Structure 1
Amino acid sequence: MSIKRFAEFLVTATFLLCVLALGALGGCSPQTSEPPAAKVPQVTVMTITPRAQAFETELTGRTQAFMVADIRPQVGGIVQKRLFVEGAQVKAGQALYQLDPSTYQASLAEAQATLAKNQATLTSSQLTAKRNAGLAKIDAISQQDNEDAQANLLTAQADVKVAQAGIETARINLAYTRITAPISGRIETSTVTPGALVTANQDTALTTVQQLDPIYVDVTQSTTDLLRLKRDLASGTLQSNSAGEAQMSLLLEDGSTYDQKGRLKFSGVSVNESTGTVTLRGVIANPDGLLLPGMYVRAVLEQGRDEQAILVPQKSVTRSEGGTASALVLVNGKVEQRALTIGRAIDNQWWITSGLKAGDQVIVEGGQKVHAGDAAQGVEVDTTPKTDTVANSTAVKEG
């Protein structure tokens, strides 16, 4: 092939390739199309279902004996016998100590002799007064003699009464030489032994008897919590139970739960200025004597009940920088933000006193993916409540 023909072939081939390239570019020209629809975020929601809820408060305290009697002698003397076993149960009226009664027996005998003497004098005075009264009527004796005889009769009668009282006193003092238990309970160690000299109404007690069944439980509660409780009861947010007496259970020092239930019987009428607390006193059965005075315990008090309590998981509630509590609620596929008022914590939930109602769908998971006004798709979480669960609660500042 000549060079001229080869050059013409190249020009023709180049032209055809350009035409084909232009056609290809024209066929791939962009066409207008709509963007894909945005995906609606999915969140986990919980539908609010009010339920009955008892509210409890756990308070620390110590046990106290129901009754305490310090045993002291009412007369002086030498201790002859100790009539009890230390640490044992004693009954009211049971003899505990015997003092030497000899001097008191002698005093009783002396009082009896004095009474006999005064009675003899009274008899003589009665006869003289009767005789002189008759003589005075016939003017056989002077009126002064008659009056003296009547006065002597009255004196003799008074002396007899004094002697009778002396006998009673001597008998009482003699009885005091046998020291008895004024109450039933457990008796402590003795501070004296036979042969010891004791005096009437001495400062040191011979021993102590404590009634431990039932037993008191004294706990303290802050005035802040007490005022909040009274306000909730007054407003009807909480319902009082059993005529205002709260049920009480105990947690012992080793963490175990005491098997008896008690009742809160008394609330202090004054506030401790140094701690800002009020003393609450409960009473609880102690048939086995497991609880001893002075033991540290934690009392769980049922202080109220809300028949329509609204509880939400704590993770579903957020707080602003100012401390205002709020939650995200799904309403007709749209996210709303609700301001809440929190009453207290119930385990890992908040008790909501305002801001939510039955049927509201609260977002519990996925809230970080949406904001108020966004569309969202809710997936219900299983929130089957336990039947009338009684949960420990701690009061918090209302948000």
Structure 2
Amino acid sequence: MKRLIDRAAALARPTILLGAAVALASCGGGDNKGKEKGGRGGPGQGTPQVGFVTVQPTTAAFVTEMPGRTSAFESSDVRPQVTGLIRRRFFTEGSFVRKGQPLYEIDPRLYRAAANQAAANVQSARANAEATRIQAERYKPLAQIEAISRQDYTNAVASAQQARASVAQTRAALETARINLNFTTVPAPISGKIGRSLFTVGALVSATQTDPLAQIQRLDPMFVDIQQSAADLLALRRSLATEGVIPATAQVRLTLEDGSDYGQVGSIEFGEAVVNQETGTVTLRARFPNPQGLLLPGMFVRAKFAQAITQRAYLVPQQAVSRDPKGNATLMIVGPNNKAMERKVTADRTQGAYWVVTKGLQTGDKIITQGLGLLRPGQTVKPVPANTPQPVKAPPQGQEQQQGGQGKQGR
């Protein structure tokens, strides 16, 4: 019985090997057919379809965003110009005051007395001047007939002139005394919002003190001091001189500390001609309206504005540009005979959803923006305009049945 079983197994072994060989041959034939249909793309793959956009030259603004600090349009310290005790304060802390409005009163009694004394000195000098003038006039005919000496007449004339000079001196002293008396009322030097009072009623103040009585700031409009790197400014000026870039007079927008947009639009007033040695930056000053008082001095903001305009640039969708290991910008274009070609370009900044390309492209170049996943330079492509719907075909009926049968077998 054992011999019969071994003989049957030996007869069945060639049949199993023959079936495996036939199966392998059929699989190999299927792969060759797939390669013949798919070309160089691999099994079951044809010429890849890619979406492209045609670029045209345009103008692109050189938009920069830089940090800045707000500062008051006008700021003035309220300082005493005479020495004395503060008798009264006429303003409310934190309120708006107008130029010339009285803010403090310093004890005026000493200065009023000095002004009265100066006025009396003026009257005395005038009386003396009148007496010496009359005396000189009387001496004149007497000197002509030699009733008095010529020297006496000369002395009388000189005395009259000295008396007139004394009148001028006393008038100046009177004006000084009146000015000091007026200084006992301390007015607002500018219009604006006044802060807290640093001295109270009864405090002794002097014209030589270092601390102000209060501070007034004008907050509408408002200045924003923007810090720009000196290296960036130098590169911009070189571009303006050599690369067909023109200066821009664009408006400035602000982003506040909470990330919100300020809403009001400002303009650049001037740029300083000195580089800060500690930070290596140049200060640009912008002016903004501040009717609601939202901006306060010392706030940190970010300013966005266009410093220059590139007259010939290309706007390329960001998904079309990639970077090589050295950081150079590259993109794929549709070349002759529908061959994909890699192109190095200069793309230093973005504008919205686009890269601003200034070098490396020509008018009418077809930039591949879709289907870049497995695309290689030199590969034949089927270019279609970007965002063209991709055709989706149902598999053949026999293939559906075969897939269905395999699914049932799998179950």
Query: Which bracket does the TM-score occupy, shorter chain normalised?
Result: 0.7 to 0.9
Q: CA RMSD in A?
A: 2.2
Is the 2:85–2:106 Cα contact (8 Å) retained in structure 1? yes
Q: Which has the higher helix share?
A: 2
Which one of 315, 318, 324 corresponds to residue 320 of structure 1? 324
Deviations 1:262-289 (A, max 9, x none): 1011112111223221111111111111
> What one-letter code is carried by the residue in structure 2 that aligns with 1:231?
R
Deviations 1:21-74 (A, max 9, x none): xxxxxxxxx9xx994462222222222144444342111111001111101100
Residue 72 (1) aligns with residue 47 (2): no
Q: Is the 8 A contact 2:370 2:386 kept in 1?
A: no
- Report which stretch shifted further, 129-138 or 340-349: 340-349
The separation in 1 between residues aligned to 2:189 and 2:196, in whole angstroms, is: 17
Deviation of 1:317 after TM superposition, in Å, equals 2.2
Change (3 A) 1:35 1:161: closer
Gaps of 5+ in 1: 1-29, 384-399
Match of 1:98 in 2: 105
1:13 aligned residue: none
How do 1:168-179 residues align onto structure 2 when only pairs under 5 Å count? 168-179=175-186
Distance 2:327 2:70 in 1: 39
Q: Distance in 2 between matches of 1:233 and 1:247?
A: 19
Match of 2:297 in 1: 293
| Matching of residue 264 in structure 1 with residue 271 in structure 2 | no
- Residue 199 of structure 2, aligned match among 182, 192, 204: 192
Query: 1:148-175 CA deviation, whole Å, 9 max, x = no partner?
Result: 1111111101100001101100110000
Which of 345, 366, 371 is 1:340 aligned to?
345
SS at match of 1:186: strand
Kindly provide the CA deviation profile for residues 188-208 of structure 1, in whole angstroms up to 9, marking residues without a partner as x.
100111111111131110001
Rounded Cα–Cα distance in structure 1 between residues aligned with 2:59 and 2:236: 17
Counterpart of 1:143, as a letter, is R
Normalised by the length of structure 1, the TM-score is: 0.82
> Per chain length, whose mean CA-contact separation is higher, i.e. which structure has more relative contact order (CA < 8 Å, sep 6+)?
1
Q: Could you tell me which residue of structure 2 aligns to residue 8 of structure 1?
A: none
Mapped partners of 1:195, 1:182: distance in 2? 23
User: 5 Å matches for 1:158-237?
Assistant: 158-235=165-242, 237=244
Counterparts of 1:129 and 1:320, CA distance in 2: 105
> Which of the numbers 122, 127, 132 marks the counterpart of 2:129?
122
SS in 2 for 1:302: strand
> Alignment partner of 1:64: what SS?
strand
Q: Which amino acid aligns with 1:362?
A: I
Q: Report what 1:40 is aligned to.
A: 47
Alpha carbons of structure 1 residues 334 and 68: separation in structure 2 relative to 1, 3 Å = same
1:378 maps to what in 2?
383
Deviations 1:188-237 (A, max 9, x none): 10011111111113111000111111110011011222223223333464
CA contact (8 A) 1:72 1:201 kept: no
- 1:381, 1:240 → 2: CA distance? 34
1:350 corresponds, among 350, 355, 358, to 355
- Tell me the number of residue pairs that the alignment of Structure 1 and Structure 2 aligns: 349
**Tell me, what secondary structure is at the counterpart of 2:298?**
coil
1:369 alignment partner, SS class: coil
1:348 to partner: Cα distance: 4.4
CA contact (8 A) 2:65 2:302 kept: yes
Deviates more, 1:167-176 or 1:48-57: 48-57
Give the aligned partner of residue 21 of structure 1.
none
- Select the residue among 127, 140, 144 that pairs with 1:137: 144
Closer, same or farther: CA 216–50 of 1 in aligned 2, 3 Å: same
Letter in 2 for 1:317: V
The amino acid of 1:157's aligned partner reads: R
Q: Deviations over 1:59-96 (max 9, x none)?
A: 11110011111011001111111011111111111111
Q: Tell me the secondary structure at the aligned position of residue 247 of structure 1.
A: coil
Q: Give 1:368 shift.
A: 4.5
